[in-house]
Structure 1
């Protein structure tokens, strides 16, 4: 899917990459985002209001996203996650590497860790979309001359249980729902100690999953945790 010409899966143009350049520019574009949670913000603003008024320092200190979770990306992500099309990791990684904040986080981190699935969910899907993205980002970053972390560990973080449905919950309720869901793998603790870990995932909505994963990594000895995601769900309103 990365190199062979075909039909653009958005506009139907041919010959094309999976998402043609015109559609990528039209539906991705340069969007100013909060450095901490990747929510859209006005140009020149570094932090959104929610992050500025946060009462306690969050476990996740920075987050970069490539696109909004909206048309056409939401449909393509569904194909990536649920319909056995892991090849979408390549086109998505290309969009992620086009974000300056993402490049900065890559250069600063020591290790990339995908947000894990439970073994049951992994068996159902056949692949962990977060790990596919992490591999594609590393693979594409090197030819571009970008700095990439020395390590990438798909087993550094373990998902112990599948959280109940989060769809209708507030951010605080989601955080409570995710307590105890993640744990660092005991055999990876030495690699995580004092490291700047970059979490990788496909979508973030309220950031609750990333915060819970970051907390588990900090408890295991990580010095700092940031995140790189493909899509960020815009806040309501």
Structure 2
């Protein structure tokens, strides 16, 4: 999991404005900084993925917001890093209650059966990178990564703007 920031002030406010208030220039700026962070890692020897895969948004949340912030981040990252983005093959199959405020166990339970793959031939042997805005417990990323690797992906990385601080951070 690669994230340049901790989900703490002021980054949490910037992400919230992008995610919930449609402040796309903030999202674009953070995506450009994430791209620089990742490019530095690639230059140091981190393997570049074959595809960026945004975490799909529940359709109800998409209707409310009008956009999927993870897909926007993936598109911006793809342009900056010259990587293809695949939004068509990982689907959100059911609505789930909001993850905010749930502990790790409740998050995993909440996500059971929430994602599915369409046409897995494209991913066999591929190195993929999931893209999301924030990694809290890692439950969403873990569920999708397991789904992708069980279908044949050789490796799944996770790229986020920020992760929640762990004790001692």
TM-score (norm 2): 0.87
Give the alignment of 1:172-191 within 5 angstroms. 172-186=105-119, 189-191=120-122
The runs of at least 4 consecutive aligned structure 1 residues that moved more than 4 Å come to none
**Number of the residue aligned with 2:67:** 127
Task: Give, in angstroms, the shift of residue 177 of structure 1.
Answer: 2.3
* Count of residues in correspondence between the two structures: 166
1:164 aligns with one of 76, 97, 104 = 97
Task: Select the structure with the greater relative contact order (CA < 8 A; seq sep ≥ 6).
Answer: 2
**Could you list the runs of 5+ residues in structure 1 that have no partner in the other structure?**
1-62, 142-147
* SS of residue matched to 1:108: coil
Task: Give, in angstroms, the shift of residue 97 of structure 1.
Answer: 2.3
**Number of the residue aligned with 1:137:** 77
**Cα deviation per residue 1:33-63 (whole Å; 9 max; x = unaligned)?**
xxxxxxxxxxxxxxxxxxxxxxxxxxxxxx1
For the 8 Å contact 1:203–1:229, the answer to whether it is kept is yes
Q: Aligned partners of 1:198 and 1:73: how far apart in 2?
A: 22
Q: Aligned partners of 1:159 and 1:174: how far apart in 2?
A: 15
Give the alignment of 1:1-237 within 5 angstroms. 63-99=1-37, 103-104=41-42, 107-141=47-81, 148-149=82-83, 151-186=84-119, 189-236=120-167
Q: Aligned partners of 2:121 and 2:26: how far apart in 1?
A: 33
Query: Bigger radius of gyration, 1 or 2?
Result: 1
**Could you list the runs of 5+ residues in structure 2 that have no partner in the other structure?**
none
For the 8 Å contact 1:111–1:153, the answer to whether it is kept is yes
**Cα deviation per residue 1:44-96 (whole Å; 9 max; x = unaligned)?**
xxxxxxxxxxxxxxxxxxx1001111111111111111112223232111221
Is the alpha carbon distance of 1:102 and 1:82 closer, same or farther for their aligned partners in structure 2, counting shifts above 3 Å?
A: farther
